[in-house]
Amino acid sequence: MSAPLLEVRSLRVEFDAGRGLIRRRRFTAVDDMSFVLGAGETLGVVGESGSGKSTLARALLRLVPAAAGEVRWRGENLLDLGRRALRERRRALQMVFQDPLASLDPRMTVGEILAEPLRIFEPRVRRQQRRERTDRMLRRVGLPRWTSNHYPHEFSGGQCQRIGIARAMMSAPELLICDEAVSSLDVSIQGQIVNLLTDLQAESGMAMLFISHNLAVVRHISHRVLVMYRGRLVETAPREALFAGPLHPYTRALLAAVPGAAAVRAAAGPAAEPAIGEVPADAQAPAAAQPGCAYRPRCVHAVQVCAERRPLAEAAAPGHLVACHRHAVLGYSATVNPSATPEKPSVTP
């Protein structure tokens, strides 16, 4: 097996959480995160707001500083690079953001926005050629050529997201990080953008890190899925294994809470009850203060050991890692059964 494109090892990101009485308080947004991503592969990252998904993405590109760990890109630790070298590497690592309009400079025309990566990464390309390449890219993402002379605010959310994707693709990235890239779009537009991303991936062979809270979209786009909770990895597995046989109680709760197929079927039948996850009311305790499992306060299966020791990620099946003391005892099956739909966990009173 060749070396992975991206290898993240024990990455930690901390933020200042304001000043305490005696010393500064630190908040750990990403904790002990490790994963690998191969060329052409899509890794879906899911978790609730505040679970550290976006911070993880930003730390990979060094848009926020990492406190510890390594981000190895083709074997080279990005965290060790100087500014100039980092800038050079960023050509291969591009990002698409959640708010398409806010991530585009309102004073630049679409053509200028698309030409900017070329001006930075390939300063020798002539004006005429730049124009040809931006036009080609606009056509590729499904926008007419006249778009070039207009400003971002003249376009709808879906069109702005196409512009954002076009800008990211201008430098022919090897990794595209999509941070909630379709979350603010209407359902009918969402599919168009997801399909555009998968098409671009098929053509270019780039890898994708697809961050989303929408599990249904992640299921269709990802090869592998990583579930985060309070900055930590709780479970990662190939797509089929994760959706057919989730092992971590949090993953199971997340899947059960989606108002998707189950609710629609319920509405079509006589009973019309919404799906209720096994997650009790919002737990308030900050993660860093607890020695044990971060999910313990919300977990109905928690026992003494969960409060004492933090569970480490261990392999339950090849490629299927889960960080839970109880997963073996709970007896959820890790066998891959692609035809099975995720059964709903029992709701404990």
Q: Which residues bind other proteins (CB under 8 A)?
A: 48-49, 156-159, 186-192, 194-195, 198, 213-217, 219-220, 239-240, 243, 253-264, 266-269, 272-277, 279, 281-282, 284, 341-342
Considering the complex, what minimum distance in angstroms separates the CB of residue 342 from other proteins?
7
* Of residues 1 and 268, the one with the C-beta less far from other proteins: 268
* Of residues 190 and 236, the one with the C-beta less far from other proteins: 190
Instruction: Provide the token pair at 133.
Output: 């390449």
* Of residues 71 and 242, the one with the C-beta less far from other proteins: 242
Considering the complex, what minimum distance in angstroms separates the CB of residue 93 from other proteins?
26
Closest CA to 33 of 294, 239, 256, 305: 294
* Of residues 44 and 117, the one with the C-beta less far from other proteins: 44
* Of residues 18 and 75, the one with the C-beta less far from other proteins: 18
β-pair partners for 19: 24
Considering the complex, what minimum distance in angstroms separates the CB of residue 336 from other proteins?
13
Classify the phi-psi angles of 233: left when phi > 0, otherwise alpha if psi is within -120 to 50, otherwise beta. Answer: beta
Residues 6+ apart with CB under 8 A from 222: 42, 43, 44, 210, 239
Q: Count how many Cα atoms sit within 13 Å of the Cα of residue 220 in the half-sphere of its side chain.
A: 10
Q: Are 67 and 13 in contact (CB under 8 A)?
A: yes
First to last CA, the chain: 48
Considering the complex, what minimum distance in angstroms separates the CB of residue 84 from other proteins?
40
SS3 content of the chain, % helix, strand, coil (to 5): 35, 20, 40
SS (H, E, C) 199-258: HHHHHHCCEEEEECCCHHHHHHHCCEEEEEECCEEEEEEEHHHHHHCCCCHHHHHHHHHC
Can you tell me the distance from the alpha carbon of 272 to that of 254, in angstroms, rounded to the nearest whole number? 20
Considering the complex, what minimum distance in angstroms separates the CB of residue 60 from other proteins?
23
Which residue stretches of 142-212 are H helix?
157-169, 187-204
Considering the complex, what minimum distance in angstroms separates the CB of residue 259 from other proteins?
4
* Of residues 6 and 29, the one with the C-beta less far from other proteins: 29
H or E segment to which residue 89 belongs: helix 83-90
* Of residues 186 and 203, the one with the C-beta less far from other proteins: 186
Considering the complex, what minimum distance in angstroms separates the CB of residue 119 from other proteins?
31
* Of residues 54 and 171, the one with the C-beta less far from other proteins: 54
Considering the complex, what minimum distance in angstroms separates the CB of residue 242 from other proteins?
11
